[in-house]
Amino acid sequence: MGRQPDSATTTATFADRLADRVVARESQIVLGLDPDPARLWPVTLGTEAPGATPGQRAGAAVRAHCAALIDAAGPACVAVKPQLACFERLGADGWSALRATVGYARERGLLVLADAKRGDIAVSAAAYAQALVGATATPFGDVEGLGADAFTANPLLGIDALQPLVDGARAAGAGVFVLVRTSNPGAADVEDLRLADVEGGGTVWERLAQIVAQLGGQPSAHSGLADVCAVVGATAPEHVARMRELMPYAPFLLPGIGAQGGRVEDIAPAFAPGRAAALVSASRSIAAAHEATGAPPANAARAEAERLRAAAWSL
Amino acid sequence: MGRQPDSATTTATFADRLADRVVARESQIVLGLDPDPARLWPVTLGTEAPGATPGQRAGAAVRAHCAALIDAAGPACVAVKPQLACFERLGADGWSALRATVGYARERGLLVLADAKRGDIAVSAAAYAQALVGATATPFGDVEGLGADAFTANPLLGIDALQPLVDGARAAGAGVFVLVRTSNPGAADVEDLRLADVEGGGTVWERLAQIVAQLGGQPSAHSGLADVCAVVGATAPEHVARMRELMPYAPFLLPGIGAQGGRVEDIAPAFAPGRAAALVSASRSIAAAHEATGAPPANAARAEAERLRAAAWSL
């Protein structure tokens, strides 16, 4: 399905590949790639053809920015997480830059988590899986998708809408990170609502956690982890222990460290099942580290990523 | 923001443009565009350059298919609803086909509702609004987004994640259709959950409906409608009256007619505030009408779209 053979291991599931990669790189840090064309690093441009459109030039600049960020901070990380919105706003040129960035990260040994937050009814969900981790049959031959190792998904539409995403991911040896409780204040508006009819109480996010556990099933013997994962905001560390109870085998992706106020030290329970059971995501706090320190962008990004890596690895 | 001047009216909000367009075209039908490259109409191909890749050829074929479908069924419709997953699975080539399809539909007087179901934290939500209805500032000049008239959004992340989508849409004179209760069976898993702490009971989808009403605010004097709209599956007609009570001014988009089992006749309460207060969406039942009748695809699609148009208009 367009995935390069994983030369480092012979394991097949995303969870097992993740676990091996975390050990090999001694990192649980996910480098967020949220390129804003108006705030790119002053990297070398000039890669675009003469007479290129603004979109083509911006796409080339975004691609160069992401490559420079990967070169700088990637060695301290296990994965990158491109935010699809930031690429889609450049249209087809942005999608080309995204695809190139995915390839660049994979060449450097990083896993790629496409931050897409997709969710739709079954037939459309299957198409999203084709787009992100699969391929599409056409009369002219198969068209490969993005080739990500995993992607984020929105569970509002329920199990029958998630299942095609999980099935498509499994067929490609990829993973799905389902939103359970997000890192923004608005999580209180819907995700935190308390449910009736639940013995002992319970919230919408606890129900979402149960769905994640149900879809994930039993963990692999190799890693002890399942291939249906959860996005769990690091800005609500008081919930992490309960989330781990409800989803004992799910790898967690913890955004919200840094710019959104979360601290690595507060989410230790997430790592209980093992080092690969929790990934710490940081975007602006790495890419914009130079704005606080005054150091060159690459140096500041490398230092901040390494600081986060060491803090998480020591938990 | 990349939107063509709307020559038919001088009104500014999406709701007012929608209301005027519904009257002018005597239609509340939304033509779903869900192209599957393996099941396209046998339309003229050969538009691709020699030596084109499978992706380029499939993109050209998808574009031709959508144009043929718009030519056939568009005259009975007020809008088209491209499903972004179906285009994204062809990567940059798919995005180019999507953009061309948006332009083609608008040239023929149809509104474009981008079925994206996007939702993300604030800074990413703002980027999605740029991608779908706005533009992006770059050092090389502004890059125009897709130029849609409206898009669908997922409200799981709460109000602070929806607000940038609404703000971006308003700045462009566009609309947002927020998922409230979807047309799939899995809607029961999360959207239908009953809430505690709500006087007189209430479900997750009723809370979502309240959020839609809150974000939409007061209706315009011209149309009596607000510019924050709701996606309300036609497969649960028993809820439509309650939805209208909770969202008195929101235009409804009702998917699930036809292939998913919903019937136009069952959703009459949705139209209570006026003809433009409810849009009926149909995709496969129009595009694949020929599979049931044996007629040429264009003829069958035109007949089915006209049948739906007349049924809805008579309510």
Tens-digit pLDDT profile for residues B52-75: 999 999 999 999 999 999 999 999
Contacts of B315 (CB under 8 A, 6+ apart): B264, B265, B268, B271
Please indicate whether, in this complex, the C-beta atoms of A58 and B188 are within 8 angstroms of each other.
no
Residue B9 has pLDDT above 90, yes or no: no
Band (B45; pLDDT cuts 50, 70, 90): low
Rounded to 10 deg, the angle between the A91-107 and A54-73 helix axes is 20
Q: Which chain B residue is nearest to residue A121, measuring alpha carbons?
A: B184
B81 in active site: no
Q: Which chain A residue is nearest to residue B135, measuring alpha carbons?
A: A89
Q: Using CA of residue B138, residue B139, residue B142, residue B143, what is the dihedral sign?
A: negative
* pLDDT of res. A8: 41
Here the ipTM equals 0.94
Count of C-beta atoms within a 10 Å radius of residue A199: 5
The encoded tokens of residue B111 equal 């509104």
The encoded tokens of residue B217 equal 């605010």
Per CB-CB distance under 8 Å, the chain A contacts of B125 are: 85
Please indicate whether, in this complex, the C-beta atoms of B136 and A191 are within 8 angstroms of each other.
no
d(CA A159, nearest CA chain B) in Å: 6
* pLDDT of res. B8: 41
Q: Is A159 exposed, middle or buried (0-12, 13-18, 19+ CB in 10 A)?
A: middle
DSSP H/E element including B116: strand B111-118
DSSP per residue, B57-93: HHHHHHHHHHHHHHHHHGGG-SEEEEBHHHHHTTHHH
Mutate to test the interface with B, among A48, A87, A123 (most CBs of B within 10 A): A123
DSSP H/E element including A132: helix A122-133
Q: Give buried/exposed letters for B45-64 (b at 16+ CB in 10 A, else e).
A: eeebeeeeebbbbbbbbbbb
Please indicate whether, in this complex, the C-beta atoms of B34 and A123 are within 8 angstroms of each other.
yes
Instruction: Please give the backbone phi and psi of residue A300, each rounded to the nearest 5 degrees, phi first.
Output: -65, -40
Q: Which chain B residue is nearest to residue A52, measuring alpha carbons?
A: B140
Q: Are A150 and A14 in contact (CB under 8 A)?
A: yes
* pLDDT of res. A237: 79
Number of H helices, E strands in chain B: 11, 10
Q: Are A232 and A245 in contact (CB under 8 A)?
A: no
Contacts of B191 (CB under 8 A, 6+ apart): A156, A157, A158, B180, B181, B182, B203, B204, B205, B208
Mutate to test the interface with B, among A88, A96, A231 (most CBs of B within 10 A): A88
Please indicate whether, in this complex, the C-beta atoms of B158 and A128 are within 8 angstroms of each other.
no
Picking from A35, A15, A277, A66, the residue whose alpha carbon sits closest to that of residue B143 is A35
Per CB-CB distance under 8 Å, the chain A contacts of B188 are: 158
The mean per-residue pLDDT over the stretch B84-102 comes to 98
Residue B36 has pLDDT above 60, yes or no: yes
The encoded tokens of residue B229 equal 């709209």
* pLDDT of res. A45: 62
Give me the active site residues of A, please: 117
> Among partner residues A34, A130, A186, which is closest to B157 by beta-carbon distance?
A186
DSSP per residue, A292-307: HH-S-HHHHHHHHHHH
DSSP H/E element including A30: strand A29-33
pLDDT tens readout for residues B167-193: 999 999 999 999 999 989 999 999 999
Q: What is d(CA B146, CA B106) in angstroms, rounded to the nearest whole number?
A: 12
Q: Which chain B residue is nearest to residue A126, measuring alpha carbons?
A: B85
Per CB-CB distance under 8 Å, the chain A contacts of B94 are: 95, 131
Residue with tokens 């007479």: A51
Per CB-CB distance under 8 Å, the chain B contacts of A179 are: 156-157
The encoded tokens of residue A114 equal 């496409």
* pLDDT of res. A5: 43
The mean per-residue pLDDT over the stretch B86-110 comes to 98
> Among partner residues B95, B154, B160, which is closest to A119 by beta-carbon distance?
B154
d(CA B13, nearest CA chain A) in Å: 23
DSSP state of B196: S
Q: Are B35 and B46 in contact (CB under 8 A)?
A: no
Residue B5 has pLDDT above 60, yes or no: no
Please indicate whether, in this complex, the C-beta atoms of B156 and A158 are within 8 angstroms of each other.
no
Please indicate whether, in this complex, the C-beta atoms of B162 and A186 are within 8 angstroms of each other.
yes
The encoded tokens of residue B289 equal 């009408």
Instruction: Flag whether the pTM goes above 0.90.
Output: yes
Percent helix / strand / coil, chain B, rounded to 5: 45, 15, 35
Q: Are A66 and A35 in contact (CB under 8 A)?
A: yes
DSSP per residue, A134-198: SEE--TT--EE----SEEEE--TT-HHHHHHHHHHHHHTT-EEEEEEE-SSGGGGTTTTPBBSS-
Please indicate whether, in this complex, the C-beta atoms of A83 and B185 are within 8 angstroms of each other.
no
> Among partner residues A61, A141, A193, which is closest to B207 by beta-carbon distance?
A193
Contacts of B46 (CB under 8 A, 6+ apart): none
Count of C-beta atoms within a 10 Å radius of residue A291: 12
Please indicate whether, in this complex, the C-beta atoms of B61 and A140 are within 8 angstroms of each other.
yes
Per-residue pLDDT of chain A (315 residues; tens, 9 = 90+): 344 444 444 448 999 999 999 999 999 999 999 999 999 998 666 656 667 999 999 999 999 999 999 999 999 999 999 999 999 999 999 999 999 999 999 999 999 999 999 999 999 999 999 999 999 999 999 999 999 999 999 999 999 999 999 999 999 999 999 999 998 999 999 999 999 987 766 999 999 999 999 999 999 999 999 999 999 987 777 889 899 999 999 999 998 776 667 777 788 888 888 899 999 999 999 999 999 888 999 999 999 999 999 999 988
Mutate to test the interface with B, among A184, A195, A206 (most CBs of B within 10 A): A184
Q: Is B265 exposed, middle or buried (0-12, 13-18, 19+ CB in 10 A)?
A: exposed
Please indicate whether, in this complex, the C-beta atoms of A89 and B127 are within 8 angstroms of each other.
yes
Give the type of residue at B236.
A
The DSSP bridge partners found for residue B257 are: B262
Band (B6; pLDDT cuts 50, 70, 90): very low
Size of interface A-B (CB pairs under 8 A): 264
Residue B1 has pLDDT above 50, yes or no: no
pLDDT tens readout for residues B182-232: 989 999 999 999 999 877 669 999 999 999 999 999 999 999 999 999 999
Q: What is d(CA B45, CA B50) in angstroms, rounded to the nearest whole number?
A: 12
The encoded tokens of residue B123 equal 């800074």
Give the type of residue at A18.
L
Please indicate whether, in this complex, the C-beta atoms of B55 and A139 are within 8 angstroms of each other.
no
* pLDDT of res. B140: 93
